[in-house]
């Protein structure tokens, strides 16, 4: 029974990709799986042994204590160490030398492009930092045995022979709610789930909702955390806030119940470098529960949405266009229902974790082969 240790110094222990998809899948397939992650206690769930790290108190604390997860990982004596954060690349090279185990880098984001949108890094410093981090990844992975990329765009940055694309597709049935109203009987509830920030169009979405005719009796539910936290106070002061409910971070069960009462799912981002070729989880999660989507009109997103017929794409910087798309779906509920069903069919046949997980299992089998 090969022993696998997943390591993250940033993501919570029950991160959907790390715990619910990858670690749980490996455990079900017979691997001895340990997850080292920020958590409040050691525990074993679904065959995955969680070794708790203290929650980082700040970004400085996060980087200052990078060797803490590495020391804990070394004590596990694994066959494969699988990391999920770019700051762990260099420490993991030393872990590989000491342990002589295989190492894998799981790349969730195009990190250099993501840095270009980090509000907490001064603008003049973002590009040099992005280039430095990109160089670190490029040089660092030469010492790794494999790379797991979350999207085809990310995979292009790494050596083809050692890289596998394992996309963040939904687990079939995972977001099936305990209670779900028939679509045509639901209130006119429009939902956004995910991080709430300026570059994820919080202002444009709120303005769009306020533009809807009052006769539609529509409301917006936003589930997620604000980034930065101070943005919440500023947003609540907006004159357009009247039809908005901020409900904060929600468990997977509560997200499922929310989507089971909703009419439309929104996934609208600014056209930042890291967004254009991304594949946001929420797009596919909305599709997985039969919700029609309204998404940014980026080429890749347009190909997915229009190719499956699961919703509409708009200029995400134009509140009027967003509002018009919402109104079109609310005023033609049968077509909205049909869009949702087409999205659900696409998930069942093409965009699901059962397909992606097999790629991960094959990748592991190849790395562990004599």
pLDDT digits (tens, 9 = 90+) for 279-312: 999 999 999 999 999 999 999 999 999 999 999 9
Q: How confident is the model at residue 241 (pLDDT cuts 50, 70, 90)?
A: confident
Structure tokens at 202: 């919080």
**Per residue in 186-199, is it b (16+ CB within 10 Å) or e — as a string?**
eebbbbbbbebbbb
Confidence tier at 93 by pLDDT (50, 70, 90): very high
The Cα angle at residue 305 between residues 355 and 207, in degrees rounded to 5: 130
Query: Degrees (nearest 5) of the Cα angle 44, 67, 25?
Result: 30
Rounded to whole angstroms, the Cα distance separating 57 from 8 reads 15
Model pLDDT for residues 132-171, shown as the tens digit of each residue: 999 999 999 999 999 999 999 999 999 999 999 999 999 9
Which residue is listed with tokens 């209670």? Answer: 179
| All structural domains of the chain | 3-169+352-368 (3.40.50.2000), 183-349 (3.40.50.2000)
Distance between CA 63 and CA 43 in Å, rounded? 25
Whole-number Å distance between alpha carbons of 293 and 269 = 13
Residue 131's CB is within 10 A of a number of other CB atoms, namely: 12
Give 61-84 pLDDT, tens digit per residue: 777 778 899 999 999 999 999 999
Mean pLDDT of the chain: 95
pLDDT one-digit tens code per residue, 174-215: 998 877 889 999 999 999 999 999 999 999 999 999 999 999
Residues 291, 261: Cα–Cα separation, whole Å: 10
Asked if the model's pLDDT at residue 85 lies above 90, the reply is yes
End-to-end CA distance of the chain: 14
DSSP state of 226: B
The position carrying tokens 């929104």 is 266
Band of pLDDT at residue 238, cut at 50, 70 and 90: confident
Distance CA 27, CA 6 (A): 12
Q: What is the pLDDT of residue 180?
A: 81
Q: Which of 69, 35, 64, 40 is nearest to 50 (CA)?
A: 35
Give me the sign of the Cα torsion angle 350, 353, 354, 355: positive
Q: What is the pTM of this model?
A: 0.91
In angstroms, the CA 275 to CA 292 distance is 21
pLDDT the model gives residue 240: 85
């Amino acid at each position: 029974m090969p022993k696998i240790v997943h390591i993250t110094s940033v993501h919570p222990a029950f991160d959907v990709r790390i715990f619910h998809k990858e670690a749980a899948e490996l455990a079900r397939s017979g691997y001895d799986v340990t997850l080292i992650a920020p958590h409040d206690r050691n525990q074993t769930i679904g065959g995955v042994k969680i070794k708790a790290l203290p929650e980082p108190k700040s970004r400085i604390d996060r980087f200052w204590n990078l060797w803490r997860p590495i020391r804990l990982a070394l004590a596990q004596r694994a066959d494969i160490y699988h990391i999920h954060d770019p700051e762990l690349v260099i420490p993991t090279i030393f872990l590989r030398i000491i342990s002589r185990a295989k190492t894998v880098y799981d790349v969730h984001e195009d990190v250099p492009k993501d840095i270009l949108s980090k509000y907490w890094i001064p603008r003049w410093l973002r590009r040099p930092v992005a280039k430095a981090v990109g160089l670190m990844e490029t040089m660092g992975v030469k010492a790794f045995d494999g790379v797991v990329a979350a999207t085809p765009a990310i995979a292009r940055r790494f050596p083809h022979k050692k890289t596998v694309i394992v996309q963040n597709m939904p687990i079939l049935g995972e977001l099936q709610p305990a209670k779900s109203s028939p679509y045509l009987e639901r209130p006119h509830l429009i939902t956004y789930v995910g991080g709430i920030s300026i570059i994820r169009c919080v202002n444009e979405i709120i303005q769009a909702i306020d533009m809807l005719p009052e006769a539609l009796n529509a409301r917006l539910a936003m589930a997620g955390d604000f980034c930065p936290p101070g943005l919440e106070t500023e947003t609540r002061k907006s004159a357009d806030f009247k039809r908005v409910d901020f409900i904060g971070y929600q468990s997977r069960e509560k997200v499922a119940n929310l989507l089971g009462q909703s009419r439309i799912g929104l996934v609208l981002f600014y056209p930042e470098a890291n967004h254009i070729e991304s594949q946001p989880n929420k797009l596919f999660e909305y599709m997985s529960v039969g919700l029609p989507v309204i998404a940014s009109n980026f080429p890749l997103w347009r190909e997915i949405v229009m190719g499956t017929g699961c919703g509409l794409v708009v200029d995400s910087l134009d509140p009027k266009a967003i509002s018009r798309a919402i109104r079109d779906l609310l005023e033609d509920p049968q077509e909205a229902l049909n869009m949702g069903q087409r999205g659900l069919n696409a998930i069942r046949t093409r965009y699901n974790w059962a397909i992606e997980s097999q790629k991960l299992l094959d990748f592991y089998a190849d790395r562990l082969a004599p």
